[in-house]
Structure 1
């Protein structure tokens, strides 16, 4: 059971990451971290657009991101920019968001309208949770969450943050609930929503933003980041469609000012009521008024609180990510851990979308329309080999690249038996419900298939005659050159310990050389599939061929290999053979 928890969590983290589309954009640094299973923390943006005045909002946002990075974690600030949800912002985008006077406050309710109108806005807790969950980020850091407003039993003024926590499996790290809300009813509502609530630290006292104690007790507490990660991992592994709320008290050095700030809050609440301020305008008014009444002390405490939450949340995210790198429970041997966590077979090669046009007449007439049929299929030598190996029960890591376009959507949809781990978040029970054939997808690790913005998925169009002879072929294969040494080197540990590495001839020569050098160093067998006569020479233009254990050329490809090595090149078809190096590096 413990091993299953870790494996399910791994699937969660790699579930839908980096799948940007027309409405959803993941920043490249965030995408890279998710693809590499490194920790990422989601950050909201209403604190930038509505929570603080300029320039404190901008400086605080950048300070928070720096704190996250200092903990070895990648920050992913979420916002809506011109109708597209962004997970991770550039420095210029942060600047623009902080300075804008027209941004909206975007919750779940507001997302469809803001996107449909091409508007921009800061995401609330609920809006950020939706984006983080879609991106596959399990930890989200904020200041404080919304709750049940005072007199909420009559007005039904309840924050969407609470219902979002009840239906989105995200861990939210916050300083509890603002004291302007009805904290008791908020905790009751969270219980009804099935949300696990725990205070971070030695006490179970539930914090009230600026105060350590709200007068209410959390159901549970976790003492440190490791215990918090254990709680989150258990929630995700059980497949519960509800979140976790971790309440972090304000640091002691700022807690002394809590009572003064609380008095100012009560005065501001009264003033807001007298002025008829209601709804979403209440919180910004109170925060601004409290800052005035406390002469900036509340703003300083607010910033300190957010800094602390970012630090704690990053430590939790890092502990959670570390859990996915090793099995849990029982006695562990380092060698066993390495073997258990790394695929036995690695395939590096291409993915293609193929279009086959077959003429219906005996002769094709060029320059005019011919009757026939056109069908779409999915190939790529690397993809085909990885598919076959996985169907044979092998644990396979497939390293490749596809574009962020409709063709890649088609590939992912068609190849669900290989790629389903990357398409949706599934629990162990969900996996067990699939038919036996689809269960093979658990054997196929495809998180190393990079989906690249601005690139086209490889396509191939073949025009064949009625008898099946190829008349003309057109290929758009440029993206295969993006399977570069720098990208593949991220998986050096897996390549060094694999039982077999398979290369197809579509990848760059430099990548072939890098993998062969690594394989030779660690005595890993390499199988080279040349794909066509032109590409057959790639390992043979250097010393890389000495690392090959297997190759599978046809006659034309074998001739190219021999010619590259300046060996005799028979022309007769009977001369076909398989090229295998001996242990001394000779043929």
Structure 2
């Protein structure tokens, strides 16, 4: 019998199981992006594109979701269809996994739960769009994403484009430091701002290539538990126009406040507002950055698999 504190044992797809058994590179992908982050039907095409980007980087993609109470690491096309089509699919963080597993419920995994289930399955690299973090006015609301504490306890590489622009970026970086999460920029010491290349915050460390990122994680894993965050900014010519970015973010946050939206409902509300207010520009940028992160994660996973244990 599994220990009482062990996470639900994930079911691996045949391709993921074979790759892990052979010591090959695998990249975990969250499903909340598909179920809650991108509009239908664009999300279904994006799911295939993100998995293809992981393969282009040299790794096997493993999209993660909970279906009928069972965590799956690696989804079939029919299972991806289900995740993308169901408007009532729950959003599952780490705290929600026990409920979904015990009651046989289905849901899409966030950064925190994807990292947990990836590590449980033996997958060391994870690609996402942006991390959750400390929300603005958190000193009054105590609103902070569970992503941060989860990453302090989970040994994975997370490739992202920084944290979502709606957050308090400096406070988020302070919390990551306090939690001893290693954060490096990919080819830069500028911390990206998700839709824009520069959040206005800087980093102490950077890596020049996938091999260096893999080496940092290999040492971190030997030293202590916890994640290595690889912040991968968009090129300046692919980012959202910074002036448009600042305007639509301010409008979206004001709309969320006026509507009384709180907690985990804020992010999907704001993302939907941004998509409409920017006439689709934020969606296009979101997809671009996820594809870039997925490809880089594939290269890091390949470098990690090729390095001595």
For the criterion TM > 0.5, the same-fold answer is: yes
Which ranges in structure 2 are unaligned for 5 or more consecutive residues?
1-6
Matched-pair contact (CA < 8 Å) for 1:207–1:248: yes
* 1:419 alignment counterpart: none
Report the CA distance between 1:216 and its aligned residue.
Answer: 0.9
Matched, 1:194 2:180: yes
**Other-structure match for 1:204:** 189
Q: CA deviation at 1:324?
A: 3.1
Q: Match of 2:222?
A: 237
Which of residues 108, 113, 119 is equivalent to 2:105? 119
Whole-angstrom CA distance in 2 between matches of 1:27 and 1:210: 32
- Work out the CA distance in 1 between the residues paired with 2:8 and 2:57: 32
1:257-299 deviation digits (Å, cap 9, x = unpaired)? 2431332111111111111111111111111111111110110
Runs of 5+ consecutive residues of structure 1 not aligned to the other structure? 1-20, 326-587
Question: Is 1:156 matched with 2:129?
Answer: no
Contact 1:198 1:220 in 2 (8 A): yes
Q: Given the alignment of the two structures, is residue 289 of structure 1 paired with residue 291 of structure 2, yes or no?
A: no
Cross-structure match for 1:89 = 75
Partner residue of 1:63?
Answer: 49
**1:22 shift after superposition:** 7.8
- Closer, same or farther: CA 229–22 of 1 in aligned 2, 3 Å: closer
CA positional deviation for 1:117: 1.1
Superposed CA RMSD in Å reads 1.4
- Is 1:315 equivalent to 2:299 in the alignment? yes
Measured after TM superposition, the shift of residue 58 of structure 1 is 1.1
- Selected match of 2:84 from 88, 98, 108: 98
User: Match for residue 37 of structure 1?
Assistant: 23
**CA distance in structure 1 between the partners assigned to 2:242 and 2:22 by the alignment:** 42
User: For residues 164 and 181 of structure 1, do their structure 2 counterparts lie closer, same or farther at Cα, with a shift above 3 Å needed?
Assistant: same
Describe the superposition over 1:348-387 as per-residue Cα deviations: whole angstroms up to 9, x where unpaired: xxxxxxxxxxxxxxxxxxxxxxxxxxxxxxxxxxxxxxxx
CA shift, 1:214, in A, is: 1.1
Aligned position for 1:74: 60
1:9-44 deviation digits (Å, cap 9, x = unpaired)? xxxxxxxxxxxx985201110000000011000000
When Rg is computed on C-alpha atoms for both structures, the one with the higher figure is 1
CA 1:217–1:56: 2 relative to 1, 3 Å: same
- Distance (whole Å) between structure 2 residues aligned to residue 231 and residue 180 of structure 1: 29
How far has the Cα of 1:219 moved from its partner? 2.1
TM-score, scaled to structure 1? 0.51
1:256 CA displacement: 5.3
Structure 1 outlier segments of 4+, above 3 Å:
none
The CA distance in 1 between the partners of 2:243 and 2:59, in whole Å, is 34
CA distance in 2: counterparts of 1:259 and 1:237, whole angstroms? 44
- 1:512-564 Cα offsets, whole Å, 9 max, x none, are xxxxxxxxxxxxxxxxxxxxxxxxxxxxxxxxxxxxxxxxxxxxxxxxxxxxx
Higher helix share: 2
- Residue 217 (1) aligns with residue 202 (2): yes
Is the contact between residue 39 and residue 317 of structure 1 (CA under 8 Å) also seen in structure 2? yes
**Residues 55 and 295, structure 2, Cα contact 8 Å, conserved in 1:** no
- Is residue 211–residue 259 contact of structure 1 (8 Å, CA) maintained in 2? no
Higher relative contact order (CA 8 A, sep 6+): 2
Matched residues in 2 for 1:22 and 1:244: separation?
A: 24
Distance in structure 2 (CA, Å) of the matches to 1:217 and 1:284: 27
Residues of 2 paired with 1:71 and 1:155: CA distance? Answer: 40
Partner Cα distance (1:259, 1:73) in 2: 37
Residues in 1 aligned to 2:149 and 2:167: alpha-carbon distance in whole angstroms: 16
Deviations 1:284-322 (A, max 9, x none): 111111111111011001100101111111111111111
How many matched pairs? Answer: 303
Give the C-alpha shift of residue 218 in structure 1: 1.3
Cα distance in 2 for residues equivalent to 1:112 and 1:84? 11
Distance 1:180 1:246 in 2: 20
TM-score (norm. length: structure 2): 0.95
Secondary structure at the aligned position of 2:112 is classed as helix
Paired with 2:110 and 2:231, the residues of 1 have a C-alpha distance of: 17
